[in-house]
Amino acid sequence: MDRHLDELIRRAAFTHLRDVTVSFGNVVPYRILASGFPFRGRTVHLVAQQGIFIPAGMDVPLSIRTSAERADGSRPYEDDVGSDGLLRYRYRGDDLMHRENLGLRKAWAESIPLIWLSGVAKGMYEPFWPVFVHGDDPESLIFTVAFEADDVLGPDLKPLVVDEARRAYITQEVRKRLHQSRFRSRVLTAYRTTCAICRLKEGDLLDAAHIVADSDPLGAPVVSNGLSLCKIHHAAFDRNILGISPDLVVEVRHDILTKTDGPMLRHGLQECHGERLLVPRRPEDRPRPLFVEERYERFRDAS
């Protein structure tokens, strides 16, 4: 394909992803990605069944895709970000000359930007763009991929500057987003996309709250350290307006219980006092007593 036309398609794809993530947030349904976007009278798709996707008429992949974790935390392919900030992405099969592997090698040789779609749950992906193939290891059948910022691409879609400090910051942000997305997906799945306090089932209004904060030495990113909470109860939990007792009963702070305000305070908070917490079906996903007791002590101190 003509290089200029290829650049136009990629720029249009990045613009489309910006619009999509405004509508859906960082995590986008597969069906939306698969529906693609209009370009000069045709539809350009962002993804297909194969992990390395080369749209019709193009010779370099537009996107690479990593499947979501299985229930045991493993992935069908061990694609992930290493300690050096580079994504390890496996070849298509073991044929070095496969069209898709050749396409990624060409993306590396010509510094052509791609989209990485990271699976966070079944049918849900978090897109990262632009990413660039950083290296090729035929012996391990692995490409390494580096992250860049969309706002530093020049007219030819190549970075205007290569700044390792900036790239390290971008990688840190990618890691943070991946951590948050995967933790949220695992927690909401365990709680059947339901607020553990009020039983709200609207996924767009649910968060994965840490029982013990991420920054705490005890704050492991595991489901047993998480609660599926609607946004108001997440905020109330974080600010010690409500707490969870060791026997998994919701307690609302005394001064909040004695306030008189509108129906939101009454129904949203005061009526939750004394309610039992909804817990996951799998025992290993339920709140770990050590985490609950630690957090409850902090709630009592704040009260």
- pLDDT tens digit string along 15-24? 999 999 999 8
What are the residue ranges spanned by the domains of the chain?
A: 3-186, 193-302
Q: Are 39 and 123 in contact (CB under 8 A)?
A: no
In this predicted structure, what is the pLDDT of residue 109? 95
CA distance 269 to 8: 52
264 CB burial (10 A radius; 0-12, 13-18, 19+): exposed
How many residues can be counted in the chain?
Answer: 303
CATH T-level assignment (fold) for domain 3-186: PUA domain-like (2.30.280)
Residues in the chain predicted with pLDDT less than 70, given as ranges, are 70-79, 162
CA distances from 161 to 35, 108, 152, 153 (A): 33, 17, 7, 9
**Gap between the Cα atoms of 193 and 205, Å rounded:** 10
Residue 55 CA, distance from chain mean position: 25
